[in-house]
Amino acid sequence: MKITILGSGTWGTALANLLAKKGEDVTLVSALPKDASYLLAHHSHPHLPGILLEPSIHYGSIVAEATPNQDVVVFAAPSKYFRATAKKAAPYLSPKTILVSVSKGIEEGSLFTMSEILQDEDHALHQVVVLSGPSHAEEVAAGLPTCIVSSSHDDKAAKTIQHLFSTPYFRVYTNRDPHGVELCGAFKNILALASGISDGLGYGDNAKAALMTRGIAEMRRLGQKSGCQDETFFGLAGVGDVIVTATSKHSRNRLCGSYLGQGIPYEEAVQKVGMVVEGVLLLPALKELENRYEVELPIADFVYEVCFHRRDPRDGISVLLGRALKSECDNG
């Protein structure tokens, strides 16, 4: 197959390498010409140390040249730049092309997920698939065992992408709830920030387990309000992605949270991470969703207060623990 990946961050690069190893015809497009030149010259990514990229990968920086007549176009731009990337690509997409979103986030204002942005910008109504789950780029690039989901309302498209990306170490399941999958992929970054804050405060595993578990309950409540399938939240895209993002040394969101827990302002914390922290970008849109659906999200609110209102993290945890006692099954 002929495949273009728009976005040469660690995730887009790891997926390009995976497909090239399978013998697919892959073009990786960087936003900046200098980034494309670096990848071509070094066959490596600065944030994937020790990984040698397949020599068959083509590199470019011009969307109009890389997207026509492709079987699959993968959108791997950060959520902040996702719509701009989709807008650039839309005029050049072939009718047969399957569009795949591997980015995680919700657009502020429209409250669209990434696949919904693709559909909003794409007036030719291409098949759209979401590829998501517990999958750090560093581990995928190293060939470590990973399982994710290919989700779409179009079963044929979901299965095409399932087979395209599956390898002996990268197993892909199908799923029919793309909105739920994307909601999980976005919300889990908030829970990773919360878990990182707990780490930064010096709390133990008990606190982190509580934040993750009750956070999944929040994620599920929001999903129920917006028509998602319950099973999605207990699968790879839900619980699986929460576990990996909230606990891993590779997680930018958990690392950013740990700086917040140490009392570092969020602007400085993001700068110290040195890469995009999607959870912080998501917070305003998540607050809008909370108001739209009138759902209670106390952990998400806590992270929002720490980031944007400079709330003392220790005080915020105390407020969470001091809420009115209730049944675990209560809706709040």
Would you name the residues annotated as active-site residues? Answer: 188
Q: Residue 19 corresponds to which tokens in the numbers above?
A: 């497909």
Coil, strand, or helix at residue 173? strand
Using alpha carbons only, how large is the chain's radius of gyration in Å?
19
Q: Please report the sign of the dihedral spanned by the C-alpha atoms of residue 60, residue 61, residue 65, residue 66.
A: positive
Strand order in the sheet with 2-6: 58-60, 25-29, 2-6, 72-75, 98-101, 127-132, 146-151, 170-175
Coil, strand, or helix at residue 149? strand
Give the end-to-end CA distance of the chain in Å, rounded to a whole number. 47
Q: Residue 332 corresponds to which tokens in the numbers above?
A: 């709040």
How far is residue 2 CA from its own chain's centroid? 24
Burial group, residue 326, by CB count within 10 angstroms (0-12, 13-18, 19+): exposed
Cα gap 161→152, rounded to integer Å: 10
Question: From residue 117, how far is each of 125, 156, 189, 224 by CA, in Å?
Answer: 12, 21, 20, 22
Q: What is the 3-state secondary structure (H, E, C) of 191-245?
A: HHHHHHHHHHCCCCHHHHHHHHHHHHHHHHHHHHHCCCCHHHHHCHHHHHHHHHH
Q: Is 260:200 a contact under the CB 8 Å cutoff? A: yes
* Cβ-count burial 202-215 (b if 16+ within 10 Å, e if not): ebeeebbebbbebb
